[in-house]
Amino acid sequence: MVFSLSQMTSKDVALVFERYDDVVILLPVGSLEAHGPHLPLSTDTMISNAAIERAAERLHKENVIGLIAPAVSYGVTECALQLSGTLSVSPETLSMWVKELIAGFLAMGATHVCLVNNHLEPGQDEALVHALTDFSSHHASLASPLKKRWAKQLTSEFKQGNCHAGCYETSLILATMPDVVNTDIQHTLKPISISLSDNIDQGVLDFVDMGLLDGYSGDPSQATVQEGNESLDILATMIVTTVTEALSHG
């Protein structure tokens, strides 16, 4: 069973808090960002939502209730700003907004709030780490594939850092919301091997300046549902582990 806050009534929520000692809020974080000519702007938010749904089912089996919160669907998205449809907020604004959301959920009675981020621009992750500084690790955490522990388990394209709307993300969306992928275009896309992490390390922050003229890097044409499901399992394990470790910190 998966509980989604946006579809529950006030009374439903009151009953959940009454019935269970530990209620965890799972807060998806994403972006509105160009993701090649074949994936939608909300790709990162969709990945966070899908991973959370899978994690919530597993947590439920371990008697931990995860309430899925409506997503934070805009983020620090400066790298893709030259590409249409991309919108960026400042790290300060994102941090403050997320901080207030965490405080609000804790005031509501939640034991823990777990942020789940799949928009992997360093400025976004840093802003989210900053948002946690007001809270103990028992009360708030960040599940992010940028952490080495999880990154090393993901696909080779992911680890090479040349993935934006490439095989990794396209596979994830094919496994969760296949209808939103423009597969006609996806199959025509040539592999591009531009490392975002190397460029960012060298101070080149803009996708167009890096050479990602179509807003993707990696090999989207090779994406498969099977790879997407395997990656999604790892992302779900990341969330379940982050939550259970936080709860055990007392």
Q: Give strand pairing partners of 112.
A: 24
Q: Name the residue with the smallest CB distance to Zn ion.
A: 44
Cβ contacts of residue 23 below 8 Å, gap of 6+?
A: 16, 17, 65, 67, 109, 110, 111
Give the residue with the Cβ less far from Zn ion, 2 or 154: 154
Query: Cα–Cα distance between 44 and 177 in angstroms, integer?
Result: 12
Please identify which residue in 25, 28, 44, 238 interacts with Zn ion, judged by CB under 5 A. Answer: 44
Stretch in the footprint of Zn ion (CB under 5 A) among 35-43, 142-150, 180-188, 225-233: 35-43
Q: How far is the CB of 201 from Zn ion (least distance, A)?
A: 19
Name the segment binding Zn ion (CB under 5 A); options: 42-50, 67-75, 83-91, 210-218: 42-50
Site for Zn ion in 144-183 (CB under 5 A): none
For Zn ion, give the closer residue by CB, 141 or 170: 170
Nearer to Zn ion, 119 or 139 (CB): 119
> What is the SS3 assignment for 47?
helix
Give the bridge partners for 92, in sequence order: none
Token pair of 146, please? 């940028």
Count Cβ atoms within 10 A of the Cβ of residue 244 and give its class: 0-12 exposed, 13-18 middle, 19 or more buried: middle
Enter the tokens of residue 93: 């604004």
Residue with Cβ nearer Zn ion (105 or 168): 168
- H or E segment to which residue 67 belongs: strand 65-68
Q: C-beta of 6: minimal distance to Zn ion in Å?
A: 22
Size of the site for Zn ion (CB under 5 A): 2
CB of 2 to Zn ion, least distance (A): 23
- Asked if 182 and 196 count as a contact pair (C-beta separation under 8 A), the reply is no
DSSP state letter for 29 = E
| Closest alpha carbon to 197 in 125, 90, 94 | 125
For Zn ion, the closer CB: 65 or 232: 232
Cβ atoms within 10 Å of 5's Cβ, excluding its own:
17
Question: Which range in 40-48, 129-137, 141-149, 226-234 contacts Zn ion by CB under 5 A?
Answer: 40-48
- CB 52, min distance to Zn ion, A: 16
- Nearest CB to Zn ion, comparing residues 54 and 119: 119
Report in angstroms how near the CB of residue 166 gets to Zn ion at its nearest. 9
Pick 43 or 176: Cβ nearer Zn ion: 43
- The least CB distance from residue 66 to Zn ion, in Å, is 23
Three-class SS state of 3: strand
Q: Kindly state the smallest distance separating residue 242's Cβ from Zn ion, in Å.
A: 20
- Joined tokens for residue 208: 């167009």
Residues that bind Zn ion (CB under 5 A): 43-44
